[in-house]
Structure 1
């Protein structure tokens, strides 16, 4: 449980870092939104269980 939350935080911080470095270009990339959405789903499922 704690491992899942830690992993989730690490992945999310990586996403935030890529946003910070690349700026507004990331927001126009559909792959970014798909990745973010899938991370939320995975985290929700794991925390739900």
Structure 2
């Protein structure tokens, strides 16, 4: 029972961490997109 609760807690923490990283990457790319001139096509494939 205790091990299961610990596993669930770590899975939840990983989920929150994943959401934060996703939000940071979206924010980073939006800032990056604003700094890059729109006339230059994006050649970076992610």
- Specify the TM-score bucket, using the shorter chain as the normaliser: 0.5 to 0.7
TM score, norm. by length of structure 1? 0.54
Report the RMSD for the aligned CA atoms in angstroms: 1.1
Number of residue-to-residue matches in the alignment: 31
- Report runs of 4+ in structure 1 exceeding 6 Å deviation: none
Q: How far apart in 1 are the matches of 2:17 and 2:26?
A: 14
Structure 2 unmatched runs, 5+: 1-14
